[in-house]
Structure 1
Amino acid sequence: MKKIILILGIIITTFSSCSDFIEEESLSNVPADATYKTTSGFQLLVNTNYAWLKGIYGGDPWLFEAGTDMYAEGRTPEPAGLSQYTLLIPSSTGVEQLYNSCYQAIQAVNKTVYYSTITEQNANVPVLVGEAKFIRAQAYFLLVQTYGGVPIVLDNITSPVLWFERNTAEEVYTQIISDLEASLASVGTSAYGTSGRVNKRAVNDLLAKVYLTRGYETFGTATDFTKAASYADAAIGGQALNLAYDQLFKPGNDLNAETIFSVQYDKNSTSTDPQKLGNNQFYYFSSYLGGSETKGGAPLRSYNLLPTGYALGLYEKGDKRWSATFMNEVYENYYDFFRVADKTNLKVKHFYEPKWFTAADKENYLATAKLATGFVYHPWGEYEAAYTLIKNIDYQTIPVKKFDDPELTTPSSTGPVSTRDIIVARLGETYLVAAEAYLKAGNPATGLDRLNEVRRRAGVANATAAEFNIEYILDERARELVGEYKRWFDLKRTGTLVARASAHNYRIKAANFVGVGGALKILRPIPQSALDLNQNKDFPQNPGY
């Protein structure tokens, strides 16, 4: 592969300002170069590779969730370009966030690979390099899905360079798979819940997703889907979904038996600046809940990325994911749901009626529940994102509770931060990846079995062979993965972004996607900041921009 030279001054300039992450430099007076050549110093360097994932996932999730069929804005505007597409240009707010943070992680890995050949050699060095290459593959996978072909940078850049070229998406996928194959051959097999490090299961899971996604590309082949199914099954490893769904995201249980890979946070490591350190995942997917000025406090919420009517309407009576995902019954003190074991005497402040409620169900609920003063009953159809056009008061839309952080140290009004982990890969999704891969590989019967394992755990009836298609899989992924930073990639991968976003997001029409020259804005634009820093003025922008 030809050598690609990268400018991206962002990598050089922002790499020195990493107060939110584990510090890469030695805390002693030993120079970094000498430190990394020691066993302990090299381990420290690899640890920073993991820390850079916080820059990718820990901030605003616009590039993961905005502008989809499942989430739309409410009282607080989202970045218009990313949420509505009509105003999407290379300099739009948020476009550069993922580009910058992924290349920061890539540069950290490149440094690790460089020092791996000159550090003290031992049996653990290849294992650590394998872990690092997994992280580089993860970053490139996010980049190629979001922006298409991007520069492949494998050198340890130590000073700014003023020229870079663009690789094709096919070349990027080749590099991703190369990194993952090397990682699979070298990483360990220790359970993620005990080691917290990349293992073979995590690599198999990512290989499944990479091959599945590449299979949809013009350069993809049917064998990509076959390989995706095989790798997904290897990641599943025969493990059934036996953990109750409401335990998957129970606070304190983030490293459970079904977590395959996550971005990990520690309360002690954020104590120096609790208003900024941590992540923002819990901050979204709800209307404003009042913050600390409410009785007993409540989570500070953004009032955007609210569940759409489509997302809320996917659940049927008996689906355990409904009550495990949404706070459809809110007590006077919001956090009592987590902090009070015996809820017998707690009073309900808000109730969000499920779509299956009948008049008799409503009557029975109001007659038997303990209702607080000022109790609000939210009828079905009056708490989705679009309803904020009619009413946008506090608590108007249903809160997503699965990411809540009820630690007493979590600020309720001083900043949108949490020290809970962000789960990037988990077993339930791997089953759905396998389902999609088997369907696309021409083996729908096995794919249906994988999907129905997810439904079995949810407590709902099996899907039938007649129902089983890509649309059904997307619906099932929606039910299973609310808020888990997957949706834009799901729609883009399956070629359903325009149709589904325009059908279910009240802010989007199909015409919003039409860009320069009539080309559709499917990929995000290459950030203007990266283009401005590049002296190669022949670097192509994406279609539509």
Structure 2
Amino acid sequence: MKKIVYTLSYLTLVLFLTGCSDFLEEDNKSNATAEDFYITAEGYQSLLNANYAQLRELYGNSPWLYACGTDLYAEGRDREPLGLSRYTNLNPSSEGVGALYDTAFKAIQTANTAVYYYDLTETTDVLDQQLGEVRFLRANAYFLLVQTYGGVPLITEYFREPVLSFDRAEAEAIYDFIITELEAALPAVSTGAYQGKVTQRAVNHLLAKVYLTRGYESFGAATDFETAASYADAAIAGQSLDLSFEELWSPDYAINSETLFSVQYDAASVSTDPFSLGHMQTAYFGPYQGGSEIAGDAPYRTYTLCPTQFAIDLFEEDDERYSTTFMTEVYARYFDFYDVDDTSTLPVAHYYAPAWEATQADKDAYIVEHPEATYHDYGTYVPSANPTNDYQTIPMKKFDDPEAPFGQNTSRRDIILSRLGETYLIAAEAHLQAGQPGTGLNFINEVRERAGVDDVTLGEFDIDYILDERGRELMGEYHRWFDLKRTGKLVERASAYHYLVEEGNFDGANGELKILRPIPQSALDLNQNNEFEQNPAYQ
């Protein structure tokens, strides 16, 4: 049966690439074989849905490879994966190293299946659009891989027979493939507003980021930054940043007008198993405060990826993003912040004083007004100052889901992958690097105007300022490691602002720095191509 051949072939690929025996079963509503089912409109739609479902595996679990070991986040009471967080003893078998490799290749093989059946399934009015969406998703998975590991196997086939040996493509070839995929997807996908499926603006946004990232590489084209700027301009499409930052992150579970692409969740799809089918983004970026055992009075948090002092210090008093990003005043019941209209008389459990309220007079005044509160002085509520106790780091509320059960994997909010504020910052960086700083300045100042802070001047506008602004605007949004790696600032910034990272931690084998992550040992062990090389820093 073709269904059996498909399953065995797919499993063989997954076993080689990941060492994992689980795989996604597409929603086959009958006993039909894959050959019969996927050649129908209903079957092909099911296969497309399976491709979108892979996003939940890519982004819905522990976000170590996206965020830890950077300048913005550090571990508090609980330990992050040591190699990824501190770069000491980072090796091909380190905890968390293989997670993205595993899930990205599973997503790629699911996409390859859809590309294969495109030529076999019945023709519909939306078939070309569906293929465009699949090509975008496949390109996105490869973009994650090439940024993280460098060159990887370039696999575009749907396998019918077991394949046990793969070559490693150069990173340059992976970028070429990503760009080809996205440029092919662009005219095919929807031109309408984002409603959960890939649109042209989402493709333009990702193309801008791919060209921007390649522009820093030794093999990048001289025109990459200029091209990135043009794609960012196309993704922006003249739209202003009209929502306030608070409106942008209000937990109302609806797609807002500035979202270009996201990982979709909904209450119905999570309700059958709410403690495993939701995602974990809300569980990070703050201290443990109780979770499910205190009947929903507070969200579960891991006490990892807590904001560093540098992250706190990025904000100034008038920046509206600070109060939206962090829960500066925690009520006796945490979620009363969302559930009670008038909070003025509620008892305060914890208060985290900002830098602009750091005087003794400020403290005395607050304590008089809230004698019941535990007052955390500015500078004392980050991991480097007090990493051991509950509530001793400031919680990030940006991703709070007040209606979710309070375990680790329970949030039903979308995970935002691309939004208009970031597109503006991509445009700012691309124009700066293309030698058009004046134009780039206009984009970054649009972001700052929405935040309520003064414009940056041309004399201040450089790559470090852009990274600081990305920190303020995109705190916690799974971009930071890629930002620092792209701009060549990972070693400098992580060693300067992460209290557990020293510059020497990045020293690897052969005089190489541990910038790229190692190819997972499980993948190397299962590959029968003995010439498949590890990244130089780990040889």
Tell me the TM-score normalised to structure 2 length. 0.95
The one-character-per-residue Cα deviations of 1:116-161 (angstroms, maximum 9, x if unpaired) are: 0010012211100000000001000000000001111000124431
Q: Which amino acid aligns with 2:440?
A: G
In the alignment, which residue of structure 1 is the partner of 2:68?
66
The one-character-per-residue Cα deviations of 1:265-324 (angstroms, maximum 9, x if unpaired) are: 111112221111111001111111122344752111101111000001110011000000
Which residue of 443, 446, 449 maps to 2:442?
449
Q: Is the 8 A contact 2:38 2:121 kept in 1?
A: yes
How far 1:17 sits from its partner (Å)? 3.8
In the alignment, which residue of structure 2 is the partner of 1:436?
429
The one-character-per-residue Cα deviations of 1:158-214 (angstroms, maximum 9, x if unpaired) are: 44311100000100000000000010011111211xx31100000000000000000
1:489 paired to 2:482: yes
The one-character-per-residue Cα deviations of 1:239-277 (angstroms, maximum 9, x if unpaired) are: 111101011121124510000000001111122211111
Q: Is the 8 A contact 1:295 1:332 kept in 2?
A: no
How far 1:7 sits from its partner (Å)? 4.5
Q: Is the 8 A contact 2:17 2:523 kept in 1?
A: no
Partner of 1:438: helix, strand, or coil? helix
Q: Is the 8 A contact 1:289 1:395 kept in 2?
A: yes
* Structure 1 residues 15 and 137: CA distance shift in structure 2, 3 A: farther
The one-character-per-residue Cα deviations of 1:360-404 (angstroms, maximum 9, x if unpaired) are: 333333333x454xx200000000121235xx2110000000111
Which residue of 365, 371, 377 maps to 1:379?
377
In the alignment, which residue of structure 1 is the partner of 2:106?
104
Q: Is the 8 A contact 2:286 2:305 kept in 1?
A: yes
In the alignment, which residue of structure 2 is the partner of 1:476?
469
How far 1:234 sits from its partner (Å)? 0.5
Alignment of structure 1 residues 8-47 onto 2, 5 Å: 8-9=14-15, 14=20, 16-18=22-24, 23-47=25-49
Partner of 1:109: helix, strand, or coil? helix
In the alignment, which residue of structure 2 is the partner of 1:404?
400
* Structure 1 residues 290 and 90: CA distance shift in structure 2, 3 A: same
In the alignment, which residue of structure 1 is the partner of 2:493?
500
Which residue of 43, 52, 57 maps to 1:55?
57
Q: Is the 8 A contact 2:26 2:50 kept in 1?
A: yes
Partner of 1:49: helix, strand, or coil? helix
Q: CA RMSD in A?
A: 1.5
Partner of 2:278: helix, strand, or coil? coil
Tell me the TM-score normalised to structure 1 length. 0.94
In the alignment, which residue of structure 1 is the partner of 2:312?
312
Q: Percent identity?
A: 56
- The aligned length equals 526
Partner of 1:517: helix, strand, or coil? helix
In the alignment, which residue of structure 2 is the partner of 1:359?
360
The CA distance in 1 between the partners of 2:49 and 2:212, in whole Å, is: 29
1:393 paired to 2:399: no
The CA distance in 2 between the partners of 1:105 and 1:292, in whole Å, is: 32
1:141 paired to 2:111: no
In the alignment, which residue of structure 2 is the partner of 1:3?
none
Q: Is the 8 A contact 1:39 1:119 kept in 2?
A: yes
In the alignment, which residue of structure 2 is the partner of 1:510?
503
Q: Is the 8 A contact 1:290 1:297 kept in 2?
A: yes
In the alignment, which residue of structure 1 is the partner of 2:417?
424
- Runs of 5+ consecutive residues of structure 1 not aligned to the other structure: 1-5
1:94 paired to 2:92: no
- Runs of 5+ consecutive residues of structure 2 not aligned to the other structure: 1-11
Q: Is the 8 A contact 1:8 1:160 kept in 2?
A: no
The one-character-per-residue Cα deviations of 1:90-138 (angstroms, maximum 9, x if unpaired) are: 0111000000100111111100010000100122111000000000010
In the alignment, which residue of structure 2 is the partner of 1:187?
189
The CA distance in 2 between the partners of 1:190 and 1:221, in whole Å, is: 31
* Structure 1 residues 40 and 15: CA distance shift in structure 2, 3 A: farther
Partner of 1:230: helix, strand, or coil? helix
Which residue of 516, 527, 538 maps to 2:520?
527
The one-character-per-residue Cα deviations of 1:19-59 (angstroms, maximum 9, x if unpaired) are: xxxx5131222222211100111111111101001110001
Q: Is the 8 A contact 1:298 1:333 kept in 2?
A: yes
Q: Which amino acid aligns with 2:221?
A: T
Q: Is the 8 A contact 2:39 2:122 kept in 1?
A: yes
Alignment of structure 1 residues 298-309 onto 2, 5 Å: 298-309=298-309
Choose 103-112 or 157-166, whichever is displaced more: 157-166
